[in-house]
Amino acid sequence: MNNIHIDAHPFAKEFIEELRKIDDDRIKSYLRLIDVLNAEIHDASALIVKKGKDNKYAKLLMTISSISYYSALLIISEIGDIDRFKDSSSLVAYAGLAPSTYSSGGKTYHGSITKQGSRYLRWILNQCTRAHIKADPDGTVAIFYTRLRKKKGNHKAIVAASAKLLKIVYWVLKERRGYHG
């Protein structure tokens, strides 16, 4: 088990190789532990890729820039059957990405997001949205994010862009066809 599988910066691989040259039992013990953990990570990653390739909905979601095997499977597991949502706004509300609203004196106010759904779904959408904006800076989500960031700040813009990306996810799953945006 001398090969390290860390998908990290080349510095980390070089550092590990330098550590292998040191004749210290404690360091060798830690390196064996790293090797075992990397083998487990490799096996889990291979299983995720296999399940993603075998899942028709995951393949559809992966047509969206920045959604990979892991994120597609996590999104699918958190959403369940897409047909249980009457529209994309229902899915956004389910995910807790919809702003709270309250009325007083004939005025309606919008507050922070409700955070009532799956925190894992919100988390993965946040990660995918950040990657999506970088991967497709001229796409609708990135343009929406950039415009909103100037008015509301980065955090609120990412949350709103995540809701927008979730609406794309909804339509990809609902219509059962890949994204061509």
Whether 144 and 111 have beta carbons less than 8 Å apart is answered as: no
- Model pLDDT, residue 12: 82
- Model pLDDT, residue 1: 43
> What are the distances in angstroms from CA 2 to CA 22, 36, 48, 72, 144?
14, 11, 24, 32, 47
- Model pLDDT, residue 102: 72
- Tally of domains in the chain: 2
- Model pLDDT, residue 9: 60
Domain co-membership, 98 together with 114? yes
- Of 9, 32, 54, the last residue of a domain is 54
pLDDT of the chain along its 181 residues, tens only? Answer: 444 444 556 668 888 889 999 999 999 999 999 899 989 999 999 999 999 999 999 999 999 999 999 999 999 999 999 999 999 999 999 999 987 777 778 787 667 776 788 899 999 999 999 999 999 999 999 999 999 999 999 999 999 999 999 999 999 999 999 998 7
Domain co-membership, 91 together with 129? yes
Taking each helix axis from N to C terminus, what angle separates 10-20 and 25-54, rounded to the nearest 10 degrees? 140
**pTM surpassing 0.75?**
yes
Domain co-membership, 104 together with 164? yes
- Model pLDDT, residue 10: 63
- Model pLDDT, residue 13: 83
Write out the residue range of the structural domain in which residue 13 sits.
1-54
- Whole-angstrom Cα distance, residue 83 to residue 71? 20
Domain co-membership, 85 together with 169? yes
DSSP 138: T
Whether 85 and 74 have beta carbons less than 8 Å apart is answered as: no
